[in-house]
Structure formats: structure tokens, C-alpha cells
Chain A
Amino acid sequence: MQHPSPDSLRAVTKPASQSGAGFVFPAPGSRRTGPRWEPYLYLLPALLVFTAFVAVPIAGGVILSLTAWNGISWDTATWVGLGNYVDAFNDSRFWTAFRNNVTLIPYFVLLPAILGLIPAALVHQMKLRGAAIFQAGLFLPYIMPGVLIGVVWRWMLNPVFGPVNQTLKRMGFHPPTWLADFNLALPTIGMIGAWAAYGFCYVVFVAGIEKIPRDLYDAAKLDGAGGWQEFLAVTLPGLRREIAVVLSVNLINALRAFDVIKATTDGGPGDATNVLALFMMNSAFGANQAGYGIAIAVILAIVTLVLSLLVLRLFGGDDD
């Protein structure tokens, strides 16, 4: 973007020599290969498109969140400072949506992690062969679009024609209406989220366990560790990084949940399954409160960032 000044050009060659021990690759981009502004040319397209369509909207969003604006014509925008944020904290619908996101966390985060971890550990411990065949089937839901998952489950759980209730009725039960039930709708969404993620968790854990050095297990055996002790002493600590990844990915999915809910309940019944992403969209485009909607988006981004960093820090893996 900006052409480096002569001063910076001199500085360019310096860091090259310190980029790692034994690295004798001739300071690429300096003497032999071409002009010193070369790397900037390689970066230019990526930086331009990223700045225009990611960075500018983020920055613009932060500014717009400080205004009251109907989203239609620019002259209606007025500066309100942190007013939108204050409004959000005093808005019971905001807190309902926030609480619903939090309620989804155990279903989206812990349940699939446990459902993936236990079989992965058992398969490893018993040295089961042919377990790889299961991976494909288990992984399938993870690559499907959320809307599709929502549409499929909405019909699976259809109170009258749905396979689930048809089966339950045939067995003599009086099944609930699931997504239409005030108290059950949110847990049902949670179970759909857990269903979509457990295969992914399993696959990540299986791959992680294979990377744990065999001699750690041998040592545990020599110490007379049983299956459970071996799991606690070797497998669990060995999977720290994978656990951190799985938990943070699932957490992000719980906080930004939108697609599945849009396709199943659209936030209903009432506000029973309203979540922040849905509330933000309805505020901005449904109620023409663009500034308010964007403020909720900013809060959502901050909460996501803080919580996922917390998970990664808690499990202490160095990133990458």
C-alpha cells in the first residue's frame, strides 16, 4: 500500500539475518531476487480486499454502534455515544437472548466433547481395529450447512408426521411437541447442536490420541495403572491441545448460533429460542434500529473473543 521510505529500506535487510538459526537462504527479496518492495506487491491484493470488505465494516460497525440510525437514510443518524450499549443492558429481550446463548453452551460445548472423548479413549485403549470406518459416518453432519440441519430436524421432530414422534407413538408414548414447546424448544436446539458436533469431536480426539507417545502408555502400564488411571494420567493431559480446540470451536458455535435456529424456530415460541445473532438481525433489519443491532453485534464479538481466549488460555496450549 504505502511505499517504504529509504530509511525503512535499510531496515528491511536487517531482520533477515536473524530469522532463525542456520537459515542461510539469501535474505529473500533483497539482493538477488528483486526489488525490496516486492513482498508488498504480493500482499497488496489480499490486503486491499480484506481491508475493504472486512476491516472497514468492522471499524464502520464500531462507529455506527455509537449512533442512533434507522439504517435507511444517512441524515437520520445521530451520535448517542454509548447509548446503545446502555440500552442493551437495560433491555430484557437482550438479556433473554444472552441467557439463551449461555444455556446452549453445555449442549453445544460439553456434551459433544464428552460424547466424542469417551469412545475415542475406549477405541484406543482396547486397540480396536477397523474403527476408522466409523469416522466417515460420524463426521458427516459436521460438513452440512446449518440451515439444512435445521430443516431436516424440523421435519424429524414434526409433532404429527415426524419420524421421532411416529416412532414414539407406536411404542405407546405421548411424545412432546419439541420445538413448539416453550420449555423444551431451547434444549431441543441444544441437542441438535450436540448431534451436529459429536462426530467432529470424536475425529479430533482420535487423531490427537494417536500423537501421544506410546512410551507414556507403557510407563503407565509399568506403574500398574488401570484403564481409568491411564486415561486420567496419560490420555487426558496428552489431549490438552485438542480439548482446547474442540471446546473453543464449539463455544464459538454456541455463541454465534443462528442458522439452525433460523430454520427451526426463528426464535420462538415467544422468545424461547431467541439468541444474540437473531436478536441483532431483527433489531437492525426488522425494527430499523441499525445502530442498536450493530451494538449487539459488537457485544457478541467481544464476548466470543474473550471467552474463546479464556478457554485457550485455560488449557494452556501454545497457539499453532
Chain B
Amino acid sequence: MIRRTIVYVLLTLGCIAAVLPFVITTLASLKTMPEIIQGVFAWPESPNWDNYREAWVQGRFGRFFVNSTVVAFAVTIPAVFLSAMSGYAFARFEFRGKGVLFGYLLLGLVVPLQALVIPLFYLLRELHLLDSLWALIVPQIAMSMSFGTLLMRQAFLAVPRDVAEAATLDGATSWQSLWGIMFPLSRPMIGTLGLLFFIWTWNEFLLPLVVNIDPAYHTLPVGLLYFQQRWTSNLPLIAAGATIIFIPLVLAFLVFQKQLVKGLTEGALKG
């Protein structure tokens, strides 16, 4: 019994340690600077929402929020559909070069973004795409192809053969069978994949840091970095900026917790 209690206490402590920094940050975002200096854990006398207004308007977090949202959707939706198509090709067809092409696409799993971001910058410069949301959208769709193809191929292989076959016998084209049967049947996997793409895009930092200098095209993580550099000593304001970034993530996490944990642990091999 005592040993059980100890394990429960350990787990609780681990949990508190994981969550506490975010709680303290949220608290700080509602305080004034003197209140923070007085005590970190104290409740603010009256919530000071001005920090949020200042971060949102003067700190341009409103703009960054819109950019992050636009980019996350503009990456996730095409990436899911393109992954479904390429995954379908590998799951349902036999063709010359299949193994080589599959290996080629999976190359993206073993090469970290760090290794290609500098040449990618010069490529985008040649294409006159720097300082635009395109510079974030197109490369991130490209980088999603490896993991997406791998996952969708597995999803389609898991569809029972007779179900897939029935459609073909009914005279449906492969295109109809993909979007009419295979895609809807794989909905759970597609949901997980979309969620992962969304969060990876939302959190991406290195690429937007490198390719977009103009603050008009910053996303939230990059915006937060420059924000921190500019307002170094204004902790409540920085805390408000940080809270604006993690509240949507916490909400998404609470709603999709099961799918996310499963997807992230199973998809952990993504380079």
C-alpha cells in the first residue's frame, strides 16, 4: 500500500512538473510587473487583460495568429490529399520502380530540416518566394510527403481486400474507389495524420525564421522570439504572447488527446 502511494505521488509530481510552467506563465500574463515581483504563485488582484491587448495589437500577435492559421491549413489539407494519392499508389498497384520510388520518398524521414534549410533558402530566393506565406506552405507540403505516404500506405493496406476488390468489380475506376471507398474507410488515420501535420506546421520555427524576414509574414513561434528580444524586461507581456500560442495547442490536445498521443507515439520514428 505504501509503495503504491509512493508511485502515485511520483506520478503526480511528474505531472505537476510538466504542467506547472504553463500555469505560472498563464498567471503571469494576467498580472502587472509589480505583482510578478511580489510573488509568482500569488493570484493577480484583478486580471490584467491589457497585456493581451498589447500583445495582440502592438506586438502584432493578431497578424502572426492569422499567418499561423492560414499556413497550417494551407499545408495540412493539400498534404493529406497528396499523401493519400501517393500512399494509394504504393498500397494498391504494382509498377516498375516501386521500391526505388518508395525509398526515394522516405529519404525525407532521415534527413533533418536543419540539413536542407540553408540551400532551401537560396532556392526560394531564386524563385522570388522569400518573404511570403508561399515560402512556408510549399516546402512544408513537400516535407510532409515522406511521413504522409508511409502512413497512408499502411492505412490503405489495412483496408480488407474484399472491400477494395468489390469496388473494382463493380466497375469503379481506381480514382472512384480511392475517394469513394478507401479514403472514407481510413478516416481515423486521416484524422490523425491531419492533426499531426497541423501541429508540426503550427510549431515549425526554423523554416519561417530563415525564409521570412518581413514581420508581416511571421508565424507565432518566430513572432514570439522577436517579441521576447524586443520586450526583454516586460514579463507580463511576454507571458501573454506565450499564452496566445499554447492555449490553442492545449485546447486541440484536450479535444483530440487520444488520437494525438497515439499518432505521436506511433509516428515517433519520423526524423
Could you tell me which A residues sit within 8 Å of B by CB distance? 4, 8, 11-13, 15-16, 19, 23-30, 32-34, 36, 38-40, 42-43, 45-47, 49-50, 52-58, 60-61, 64, 71, 115, 119, 122-123, 126, 128, 131, 134-148, 151-156, 158, 161-163, 166-167, 195, 198-200, 202-204, 207, 245-246, 248-249, 252, 255-256, 258-259, 262-263, 276-277, 280-281, 284-285, 290, 293-294, 297-298, 300-301, 304-305, 308, 319
Task: Determine how close the nearest CB of chain B comes to the CB of A163; give it in whole angstroms.
Answer: 4
Most chain A CB neighbours (cut-off 10 Å) among B3, B111, B119: B119
Check B199 against A143 for contact (C-beta < 8 Å).
Answer: yes
Check A134 against B146 for contact (C-beta < 8 Å).
Answer: no
Stretch of B14-22, B43-51, B184-192 at the chain-chain interface? B14-22
Question: Looking at chain A's contact residues, is the secondary structure mostly helix, strand, loop, or mixed?
Answer: helix
Picked from A47, A195, A294, the residue with its CB within 8 Å of the CB of B105 is A47
Picked from A4, A23, A28, A284, the residue with its CB within 8 Å of the CB of B93 is A28
Given contacts A39-B89, A249-B268, A294-B118, contact A11 B105 (CB under 8 A): no
Q: Which residues of B contact A55 (CB under 8 A)?
A: 104, 107
Check B268 against A297 for contact (C-beta < 8 Å).
Answer: no
Picked from B141, B203, B204, the residue with its CB within 8 Å of the CB of A49 is B141
**Beta-carbon contacts of B95-133 to A below 8 Å, as 1s and 0s?**
110100100110110111111111110110000000000
Check A119 against B14 for contact (C-beta < 8 Å).
Answer: yes
Check A33 against B168 for contact (C-beta < 8 Å).
Answer: yes
Given A34-B173, A128-B8, A137-B19, 5 more pairs with CB closer than 8 A: A53-B120, A147-B225, A148-B224, A204-B265, A290-B122
Given contacts A54-B143, A126-B7, A140-B22, contact A43 B86 (CB under 8 A): yes
Q: Which residues of A contact B22 (CB under 8 A)?
A: 140, 144, 152
Task: Determine how close the nearest CB of chain B comes to the CB of A241; give it in whole angstroms.
Answer: 10
Check A134 against B11 for contact (C-beta < 8 Å).
Answer: yes
Check B269 against A245 for contact (C-beta < 8 Å).
Answer: yes
Q: Which residues of A contact B239 (CB under 8 A)?
A: 155
Q: How far is the CA of A278 from the CA of B164 in the complex (A)?
A: 49
Task: Determine how close the nearest CB of chain A comes to the CB of B126; give it in whole angstroms.
Answer: 9
Given contacts A199-B18, A297-B114, contact A19 B174 (CB under 8 A): no
Picked from B86, B122, B250, the residue with its CB within 8 Å of the CB of A71 is B122
Q: How far is the CA of A12 from the CA of B17 in the complex (A)?
A: 57
Q: How far is the CA of A319 from the CA of B92 in the complex (A)?
A: 22
Q: How far is the CA of A34 from the CA of B138 in the complex (A)?
A: 31
Check B111 against A263 for contact (C-beta < 8 Å).
Answer: no
Across the interface, name the chain B residue whose C-beta is closest to A167. Answer: B40
Q: How far is the CA of A163 from the CA of B28 in the complex (A)?
A: 10
Across the interface, name the chain A residue whose C-beta is closest to B227. Answer: A151
Given contacts A140-B253, A147-B205, A199-B18, contact A61 B116 (CB under 8 A): yes
Check B161 against A23 for contact (C-beta < 8 Å).
Answer: yes
Across the interface, name the chain B residue whose C-beta is closest to A246. Answer: B268
Check A131 against B11 for contact (C-beta < 8 Å).
Answer: yes
B264 within 8 A of A: yes
Q: How far is the CA of A142 from the CA of B200 in the complex (A)?
A: 11
Q: Which residues of B contact A43 (CB under 8 A)?
A: 85-86, 89, 101
Q: Which residues of B contact A167 (CB under 8 A)?
A: 40
Q: How far is the CA of A16 from the CA of B92 in the complex (A)?
A: 10
B261 within 8 A of A: yes
Q: How far is the CA of A140 from the CA of B252 in the complex (A)?
A: 11
Task: Determine how close the nearest CB of chain B comes to the CB of A65; give it in whole angstroms.
Answer: 9
Check A152 against B94 for contact (C-beta < 8 Å).
Answer: no
State the 3 A-B residue pairs at the shortest beta-carbon distance, nearest first: A301-B115, A53-B142, A39-B93
Check A145 against B205 for contact (C-beta < 8 Å).
Answer: yes
Check B19 against A140 for contact (C-beta < 8 Å).
Answer: yes
Q: How far is the CA of A28 from the CA of B119 in the complex (A)?
A: 40
B149 within 8 A of A: yes
Task: Determine how close the nearest CB of chain A comes to the CB of B75; give it in whole angstroms.
Answer: 11
Task: Determine how close the nearest CB of chain B comes to the CB of A55; give it in whole angstroms.
Answer: 7
Check B202 against A145 for contact (C-beta < 8 Å).
Answer: yes
Across the interface, name the chain B residue whose C-beta is closest to A260. Answer: B205
Check A200 against B174 for contact (C-beta < 8 Å).
Answer: no
Across the interface, name the chain A residue whose C-beta is closest to B139. Answer: A53
Check B264 against A200 for contact (C-beta < 8 Å).
Answer: yes
B215 within 8 A of A: no
Q: Which residues of A contact B122 (CB under 8 A)?
A: 60, 64, 71, 290
